[in-house]
Structure 1
Amino acid sequence: MSGPLIALTGATGFIGRHLLTALTARGYRVRVLLRRPVEVPEGASSAVVGDLARPINMAAALSGVDAVVHSAGLANAMSGAPEDDFRNSNTEATRRLAEAAQRAKVRRFVFLSSIRAQTGPSAPSPLTEADFPTPTDAYGRSKLAAEQALAETGLDWVALRPALVYGVGVKGNMAALLRLARSPYPLPLAALSGRRSLVSVESLSAAVAAVLHTAGPLERALIVADPDPLTLPEMLAALRSGLGRRPSLLPVPSPLLGLACRITGREEMFDRLSGSLVARSDELAALGWQPVQTSRDGLAELARNAAG
């Protein structure tokens, strides 16, 4: 292979594994940056062992690299982690890697941020990049601080802020939703009307490829979201459709469901389920990005693949 050389962090994680496959399929050579000497992931053209907390090997890791794709970090699912842990893993490690990339004269730095760098778990109106970022938790604050650190380096950088990502191997909230869809029982969730944006990991990989291909400086954050936000009942119906089942959703009034969640200590979960979080990807679409599939089709495919 003789395509551009990409240095990829997080290649053994959920998003990173898909990025490795997608980038190599598009003709990129991918050098994975590993924290410990494990087997090189399939599809990587090379690997370098190095700890982002102590970037001793970064000069060697970034030698000859055209672009960095940084997907490693502490995930939002680790919501009980101390704020310092998020700052060290998501902010300071990104800053150190970006400084090393600048010294190595890397052309572009692509950072996998999050929509939570821009907002809390819900938003009253559709989000765009023009909205002032107001993260509400340690995870979101650490991602926004990493974006701000990139802006201070002088690199040509771009931060992708994906909505809730789904795909084979997903964990966290989407994995819990998939387990709920697999349950054999009717679910009392038909009355929930909040709409939420999603993005498949394949569409997110296409967004990474789009910003790598874009000529000229970017130096900004871009939202990544499918254009068809869904309600929770619509998500469950799509998942159960992929399993060859009817939706089987019951219209229990939302206030009653909220009361039950508060009584059982699941008030935060109810807020996430019932609130809206819609995001628009107009700026990314202007660069030529298109989602690979609709959210409904993608969720049905996820359920089919997970069942197989």
Structure 2
Amino acid sequence: MHVLLTGASGAVGRFVLKRLLDDGYKVTVLGRRPVESFETGFCAYDLADRDPQLPPADALVHCALVHAPGKFRGGEGDDPERFTRLNVDGTRRLFEAAGKAGCRAIVFLSSRAVYGDHRRGETLTEADVPTPDTLYGEVKLAGEQALEALCGQDITGIVLRATGVYGLSPGLADHKWSGLFQEFAAGVPIGPRKATEVHGEDLAAAVALVLEKRGALGAAFQVYNVSDLLLDRRELLSLYAGEVGLSLNAPEASGKIPGEMTTDRLRALGWAPGGRERLKAFVQSLARLNEAGN
């Protein structure tokens, strides 16, 4: 099976790229440059392309997003018009071009932001009416709608609404908590926070799973939540301190609980994320890297 992949050089896309290659897929990276250390095909592509010309393929996985470095919410920076135009119009053109290239399955990496951050403490299900309250959430919802409009007898569209993604991406030296851990180790006061998380390998497993099951999903347009942990910074930093030998106090537990996505639909397909054991293994791997670097 030949899969086109956008966003392959990013922190999330690298997890997906490695999983697809490990599973034996032929992968063509769509982007500005090939991804080093991965044996893939390559096709020059940018979300700004007015008329994308894509190679023939069986499926597309769309992970790319134009945004300010390091930011998703707030990723529009000081140019929300450009952020919207590239990510909404560019995504719609990409989906249309993928259909013309023969892709019969399109997987779109969306976000829990489509539910809105205002739904604190609530359970978020795929049947809920999306009510985004950030431009990022609105852009992701527009991408979902563009995909749904294309779906029918010839194209199956699959949306994965992912929460925050942690883990050390293949080929990268830093991860989403690198700065947080460095500040904590330096004694910088850390504010309380509680958030939902999923390991990048578990997200990549969800992508591989829906591609594998695409012919048996039923409706031509499907939405799945992807989340694993409700994680408080106090728990995370206490775990980190214990593994690396820091005698520091973690921040107080947060009293603000975010909305949590149910993942029953994805688990019914066989998805089984690593939970706290995977979190612990990740932090332990960082401790080993620290020891090796000293």
TM bucket, shorter chain: 0.7 to 0.9
Match of 1:29 in 2: 26
Give yes or no for contact 2:166–2:175 (8 Å, CA) kept in 1.
Answer: no
Deviations 1:116-136 (A, max 9, x none): 122226623122212221111
Cα distance in 2 for residues equivalent to 1:117 and 1:172: 24
Asked if 2 retains the 8 angstrom alpha-carbon contact of 1:66 and 1:106, the reply is yes
Q: Which digits, 9 at most, give the CA deviation of each residue in 1:252-291, with x for residues without a partner?
A: 9x7xxxxxxxxxxxxxxxxxx9442322211111111111
Following TM superposition, by how much is the alpha carbon of 1:242 offset from its aligned partner in structure 2, in angstroms?
3.6
Identity between Structure 1 and Structure 2 (%): 32
**2:107 match: secondary structure:** strand
Q: Give runs of aligned pairs for residues 9-20 of structure 1, distance below 5 A.
A: 9-20=6-17
Report the CA distance shift for 1:90/1:67 in structure 2 as closer, same or farther (over 3 A): same
Residue 64 of structure 2 corresponds to residue 72 of structure 1? yes
Task: Work out whether 1:111 is the aligned partner of 2:108.
Answer: yes
Alpha-carbon offset, residue 299 of structure 1: 4.8
Task: Quote the residue 1:297 is aligned against.
Answer: 280
Kindly tell me the number of residue pairs found equivalent between the two proteins: 276
Q: Distance in 1 between matches of 2:258 and 2:122?
A: 8
- Residue 133 to residue 56, structure 1, CA distance change in 2 (3 Å): closer
> 2:78, 2:266 → 1: CA distance?
32
Deviation at 1:204, TM superposition (A): 0.6
Matched, 1:219 2:251: no
TM-score (normalizing by structure 1): 0.79
Partner of 1:62: 55
- 2:17 maps to a residue whose letter is L
Please list every run of 5 or more consecutive structure 2 residues that lacks an aligned counterpart in the other structure: none
Q: For the aligned residues, what is the CA RMSD?
A: 2.8
5+ residue gaps in structure 1?
Answer: 255-272
**1:151 pairs with 2:151:** no
- Choose the corresponding residue for 2:181, options 178, 183, 193: 178
Match of 2:37 in 1: 42
Alignment of 1:284 with 2:276, yes or no, is no
Aligned partner of residue 197 in structure 1, secondary structure: strand
1:239 and 1:223 mapped to 2: Cα distance? 28
Distance in 2 of aligned mates of 1:147 and 1:73 = 14
Q: Could you tell me how far apart the structure 1 residues matched to 2:175 and 2:63 are?
A: 17
Work out the CA distance in 2 between the residues paired with 1:299 and 1:122: 29
The aligned amino acid for 1:167 is G
1-structure distance, mates of 2:79, 2:37: 34
Contact persistence 1:69–1:110 (CA under 8 A):
yes
